[in-house]
Structure 1
Amino acid sequence: MESQTTVDPAEVAKFEAMAAEWWDPNGKFKPLHMLNPCRLDYIAGQIAAEFDRDLAKPLPFKGLRLLDIGCGGGLLAEPMARLGAEVVGADAAPRNIPVAQVHAAQSGLSIDYRHTTAEDMAAAGEQFDVVLNMEVVEHVSDPLAYLTACQQLLVPGGLMICSTLNRNPKSFLMAIVGAEHVMRWLPKGTHDWKKFITPDELCDLIRKAGLDPVDRKGMVFNPVSWSWSLSSRDLSVNYVTASLKR
């Protein structure tokens, strides 16, 4: 019997075509490299708070099993492994996996990278303390089914961090016109604005999937300092949420 999947083949093909460029800070994934410190700040803070870990200590996430869904080349998986977590990186685009594996080996990191989906891992009974679900939900064919699979992958008390893009005129201007057409940070067609999700819509989907949203923040780009920062008020374009499995 063929397993159910929310993977959108057209979306996977887009990222497969860019796979070799994952670790080039000036390549097609430049926006993610720029955003990564902000994402990591939020992720590390939420994990530390939820699991009572001291980020000042060596390997603060030791003993935690973490899944990075849509791991790409490993931009988040590697920092999580350095913090001591047991990391599984999963991606539906097969060409991303060897890129991630090679870079992890060069970095002296042990990360379990797999070409698979959230649905298949859930069906296999995999369980994690933390699921990172970053900039993926806007690329799947059925967000609720996908988030439900993520919920099934968490142990009771587990934490899901989920980021995506808001859907409004500003996000169209910034993420589509600005990033793809003006700055050319991303290939044209990388994002479909109609698949963007508002914060309230995402929280509703997360609740329907069986998780309890506990926090959300905006990730805001400052064109003067050319950097990203977290915001409690501005969720107008990029934003990130934390949810628990009670």
Structure 2
Amino acid sequence: MQNQTRTVDPAELAKFEAMAAEWWDPNGKFRPLHLMNPCRLDYITKQIAAEFNRNLAEPMPFKGLRIIDIGCGGGLLSEPLTRLGADVLGADAAEKNIKVAKLHAEQDGLKIDYRAVTAEALADAGERFDVVVNMEVVEHVADPQDYLMECSNLLKPGGLHICSTINRNAKSFTMAIIGAEYVMRWLPKGTHEWNKFISPDELFEFIEKAGMQPIDRKGFVFNPISWSWKISDRDLSVNYVTAAKKPA
């Protein structure tokens, strides 16, 4: 059997274990994700609806789809995807995150399969999904190419992979590290490492080598005036998201 924790970076895991209790505090350490979540969810749901011919105006439009939210944290995406009818598995290597996610789901009356497990362990166990949601995780793993290969292994033929991360350039260093960690103090210092950021072209190459076909990429852009995020077709300079399919 393969090493089932090989994609995990222990130092990165420790960072998120230490912050686990604050996942559902909109003014806590995960405030940036709470602000970004409507934008992320808008992109994810529209991509899924387009690929699987679902009408988002209908109740439970994702009924019958099995979705894995890798690096689910406290469940900020797992919960709304469940409410849309999907069968969701929320996976995170940090056990404290899973405990928080389970408790919050129970309080909201949601049935979500939360597991403290890695992508490779699930792939080795033969788990397969229609959609892999992989948001703000790839910049924290031990080896992005190895990790994305496991994400591909988790997809059914014809499945959809959605992955977001942070670009690597001077602007992302200023915004995501200096701005978010030192000026705004949204995140603890050291949450991100600039040298682990990945450019859109690099990510597309990783995705293709993992056996998936890139089909889209967009930027997530923060507006400090409206204090909100929006999806951009052109500005991928800091936060961005990609979509890819596994050949049928």
TM-score, length of structure 1 as denominator length: 0.99
Match of 1:149 in 2: 150
Tell me the residue number matched to 1:191. 192
Question: 1:67-117 deviations in whole A, cap 9, x for unaligned?
Answer: 000000000000000000000000011111110001001111100000000
| 2:44 paired residue number | 43
CA–CA separation in structure 1 for the residues paired with 2:174 and 2:147: 27
Residue in 2 aligned with 1:219?
A: 220
Q: Which amino acid aligns with 1:181?
A: Y
Gaps of 5+ in 1: none
Using structure 2 for the length normalisation, give the TM-score.
0.98
* C-alpha separation in 1, matches of 2:198 and 2:117: 24
What is the one-letter code of the residue matched to 1:34?
Answer: L
Q: Partner residue of 1:17? A: 18
Helix, strand or coil for the counterpart of 2:189? coil
Structure 2 unaligned runs (5+)? none
Q: Does 1:89 align with 2:90?
A: yes
Amino acid at match of 2:108: S
Shift of 1:3: 1.9
Identity %: 73
Q: Which amino acid aligns with 2:54?
A: R
Give me the whole-angstrom Cα distance separating, in 1, the residues matched to 2:148 and 2:2: 20
* CA-CA distance at 1:2 after TM superposition: 6.0
Distance 1:179 1:58 in 2: 37
In 2, the alpha carbon distance for the partners of 1:94 and 1:103 equals: 14
Q: 2:3 maps to which residue?
A: 3
Whole-angstrom distance in 2 between the partners of 1:123 and 1:67: 15
SS of residue paired to 2:95: coil
Post-superposition Cα deviations, 1:160-204, rounded to whole Å, max 9, x if no partner, equal 100000000000000000000000000000000000000000000
Whole-angstrom distance in 2 between the partners of 1:135 and 1:98: 20
Residues 43-79 of structure 1: per-residue CA shift (max 9 Å, x gap): 0000000000000000000000000000000000000
Structure 2: distance between partners of 1:236 and 1:164:
11
Tell me the distance in 2 between the aligned counterparts of 1:141 and 1:100.
24
Task: Please give the alpha-carbon distance, in whole angstroms, between the structure 2 residues aligned to 1:174 and 1:195.
Answer: 15
In the alignment of these two chains, the number of paired residues is 246
Measure the CA separation in 1 of the matches of 2:210 and 2:246.
10
Match of 1:230 in 2: 231
CA RMSD of superposed structures (Å): 0.7
Structure 1 CA distance for aligned equivalents of residues 2 and 50 of structure 2: 39
Looking at structure 1, the residues matched to 145 and 95 of structure 2 have their Cα atoms a distance apart, in angstroms, of 24
Corresponding position of 1:206 = 207
